[in-house]
Amino acid sequence: SEPLPWAPESLKVSVNTTCQCLHLQWTVHNLAHHQEFRMVFQIEISRIKTSNVIWVENYTTTVKWNQVLHWSWESKLPLECAKHFIRMRSAVDAA
């Protein structure tokens, strides 16, 4: 299958055990210098297995060329106690 033209790429996940937070960083490739899109990123967090979804959030922002996007989530359970999975989908906001 062909990759989506403005899919999130270069996802980096970091963990801060002091605040029990996951920090995400990513970019959207294939944007020209002058392009700017309002996008919605659906971020889904699962614990223990991918089907055990514990958090879903839509993060809406304007995306520009060469921009690094950031998002954080604070866990109620210590992150070291269970495996966590992150899934991200994107769409151009038509509103």
Better-scored residue on pLDDT, 31 or 63:
63
Q: Is residue 2 part of a domain?
A: no
For residue 33, tell me if it sits in a domain.
yes
Identify the CATH number of the domain in which residue 51 sits.
2.60.40.10
State how far the Cα of 46 lies from the Cα of 77, in Å rounded to an integer: 12
pLDDT mean over 55-70:
94
On whether residue 27 sits in a domain, the answer given is: yes
* pLDDT tier, 95 (very low <50, low <70, confident <90, very high otherwise): low
Entry pTM: 0.84
Domain contains 1: no
pLDDT of residue 32: 74
Residue 16, in any domain of the structure: yes
* 3-state helix/strand/coil string of the chain: CCCCCCCEEEEEEEEECCCCEEEEEEEECCCCCCCEEEEEEEEEEEECCCCCEEEEEEEEEEEECCCCEEEEEECCCCHHHCCEEEEEEEEECCC
Domain of residue 66, residue span: 8-92
- Asked if the model's pLDDT at residue 42 lies above 90, the reply is yes
Q: How confident is the model at residue 5 (pLDDT cuts 50, 70, 90)?
A: low
Number of domains comprising the chain: 1
